[in-house]
Amino acid sequence: MKIYTKTGDRGETALYGGHRVPKHDARVEAYGTVDELNATIGLAIAFDVDGALGTHELEPVQSDLFTIGATLAAAKPEAARRKGTIPELPPERIEALEAWIDRLDAGLEPLDAFVLPGGSPAGAHLHAARTVCRRAERAVTRLLVDRPDLGDRIVPYLNRLSDLLFTLARSVNVSSGASEARWEPMRRRSEAE
């Protein structure tokens, strides 16, 4: 089987189930951004030379993102779930993200300012992943009028994942010894002088 099909050469693509839509369709934008998020997390994993990331915990997150992408790409997600071709995203996955955030946060200094993205290569990629995650969240919320079911688990999952990626970036930077630059508003800089 060839990787190219040529079926999208006229600016359309097929949703899971065969229904064709323009490539600029809001659903395509949403699942495409989730795919970009997954790839950005993969970059962070690849740049984790110190092994501080907890790849064994990020791989299930990447699987969750495939589940979310498949749900967004399905013309009839409920039918696909009934057939067993798309798994359900269980609520326990959101709880797992929260527990991971709490565990990481316990080892970090409390925030008193905004953190500038950067630090170690893995940390910087996690900050980039966080911004892609927020874009994916915005793309999915545009679908809520027609797909209110997405607000039950997918939107909360992406919201929590963004928080995790931020906390994980901070944690990885601390573990690697990378400094965490803070944003100081002009007023605070003037007071310090």
pLDDT tens digits, 30-88: 999 999 999 999 999 998 877 777 667 899 999 999 999 999 988 777 777 888 888 99
Q: Which residue ranges make up each domain of the chain?
A: 12-192
Encoded amino acid at 26, one letter = A
The CATH homologous superfamily to which domain 12-192 belongs is Cobalamin adenosyltransferase-like (1.20.1200.10)
Q: Which of 164, 142, 146 is nearest to 155 (CA)?
A: 142
| Tens digit of each residue's pLDDT (9 = 90 or more) over 132-169 | 999 999 999 999 998 888 889 999 999 999 999 999 99
Question: What is the predicted pLDDT for the residue at 14?
Answer: 64
How far is Cα 82 from Cα 106, in angstroms, rounded to an integer?
40
Contacts 24+ apart (CB under 8 A), 81-87: 85/16, 86/16
- pTM of the predicted structure, to 2 decimals: 0.88
- Which helix (H) or strand (E) segment holds residue 13: the answer is strand 12-14
